[in-house]
Structure 1
């Protein structure tokens, strides 16, 4: 199995790919392929490239920003996998997961999202980012009951806050241009400035 340029490598409707089969594929990719990670979102097997330096810089900025604002939560940026989607058949690796500091203690590679209050994705410069980050993941995260999905969209120069999840996706979306203050609803309940993203968004 070969992943090329971050494009999806296989698609399926509901299966033929079962989650157990996907997990075997994911282990093989982790073992044999450098520079990519695989995910199963909405029945579609896709890959995302290992992030560039600015991508990591944005996540570090957000981690340091959120820590003093809500000390009971921590932004995990270690590549923890989550079981997402309807019946939790999907497998995703969010760029960041806001959850209690010990939320994944003892968890396996694909943890339950029950303790997760927010997932974070930072768009990448690959051909699949539009479908993956803007279409598929909001639905998968909402169906898993994750209260907030935060998309930092570098190409569009904006931050999009998705909240009020249900089976159809997130019902409340607010978009903020880089430089504006962003408000995250409860259970996070903080407001922060995004002026710094103007220098990190390209």
Structure 2
């Protein structure tokens, strides 16, 4: 009985009036925002274009995703003033205020639980990303110190293990303890070039 009532409700369509204008190739972007920790599962927040109104979002969710909403609240977040250019950590240029961002919070007829973030980030190479971010922050801080006239001393510089190992290998080569070798297997064309070079050296 309950399933029959649900099927009849689906066939009857939405419980609100929808727009009659058909849009086949929309040029707008709507983004689902991650909910706050205490936000109920019956509410969802979207980042929408400034020209969007509440009826547009309600119709969009229903026709694109078959999601029915009970109410819509909208608000606009004003952006902070900023300068357009940045070089060596210093910002310059005429101050301006970027376009505001329009947000809409909808009350869903059916609850939706936002998916949890994956615990294992290895498929996305999170370790490499963290190293790059750390290196970028270090470079930015170093540029800011130099721009402020605070040049780092040699004792304050961080010792890189790779540079220490490279210096040790170079010292062994100079002292004759080791010989230069490369274990990389070259392509056949490089072996042919090496053979031609040796032939030229012998003939000269």
| TM-score with structure 1 setting the length | 0.17
Please identify which structure carries the higher helix content.
2
**Which of structures 1 and 2 has the bigger CA Rg?**
2
Please identify which structure carries the higher strand content.
1
| TM-score with structure 2 setting the length | 0.16
